[in-house]
Chain A
Amino acid sequence: NAGVTQTPKFRVLKTGQSMTLLCAQDMNHEYMYWYRQDPGMGLRLIHYSVGEGTTAKGEVPDGYNVSRLKKQNFLLGLESAAPSQTSVYFCASSYSPKTSGLLNEQFFGPGTRLTVL
């Protein structure tokens, strides 16, 4: 099993450019998450999804959009990148505690380092 994979690993954008980050998981997890991690700020939830076709806003959703068309994939889009979006982005996935009876252990991908100039 590959677990949670993220594409790309690194990216440099110019202000105003757009891009999509792809997250894929092969653990049949219901829940998926996008976080950003900045020095001194910890992990902040951007958007999350509790199932295919559903998404919800997290703590810092502005400037980002997401889609979950397939259960195993969760896409994060930046329509018009800004320097404030320079960060390390992590995707995570977990079983639904309600259906699995397991605590919400989140499995993280390796991260995408994004720089916006």
Chain B
Amino acid sequence: QKEVEQDPGPLSVPEGAIVSLNCTYSNSAFQYFMWYRQYSRKGPELLMYTYSSGNKEDGRFTAQVDKSSKYISLFIRDSQPSDSATYLCAMTPNFGNEKLTFGTGTRLTIIP
């Protein structure tokens, strides 16, 4: 079993819809949670991160962490065609850790 599980999709939704992307993890030591966005044939780039449990909002994006369930989510409101990409979750147990554990990524397509 992988430490981080992520539904690979693909996920297709119409423009303007709310998108929910999720990851589950097994290592209870993880405390920092990140979402990376990867456009086709490009490298991943950090979208946002959260610490421990709770929500964090950044424009149309909201990251949510439920440590009791070992479950994290990324919500995209008012989805746009430019949001079409692969979204990877990543996590690390502590601030000083040099390594991240990545999910496999979910491929998202927003249909105009």
Contacts and interface: CB of A to CB of B under 8 A. Distances in A.
B88 A90 contact: no
A68 to B, nearest CB: 13
Contacts of A107: 45
Nearest to B44: A108
Nearest to B46: A105
B42 A42 contact: no
A41 B4 CA distance: 11
Interface stretch (A11-19, A43-51, A75-83): A43-51
Contacts of A58: 99
A40 B104 CA distance: 6
Contacts of A92: 43
Contacts of A86: none
Interface residues of B, number: 23
B86 to A, nearest CB: 10
Contact of A97 (B6, B34, B45, B95): B95
Interface residues of A, number: 25
A96 B105 CA distance: 25
Contacts of A45: 99
Contacts of B43: 4, 90, 92, 108-111
B99 A103 contact: no
B42 A97 contact: no
B100 A106 contact: yes
Interface string A78-117: 0000000000001010101110000111111111000000
Interface of A: 4, 31, 40-43, 45, 48, 50, 58, 90, 92, 94, 96-98, 103-111
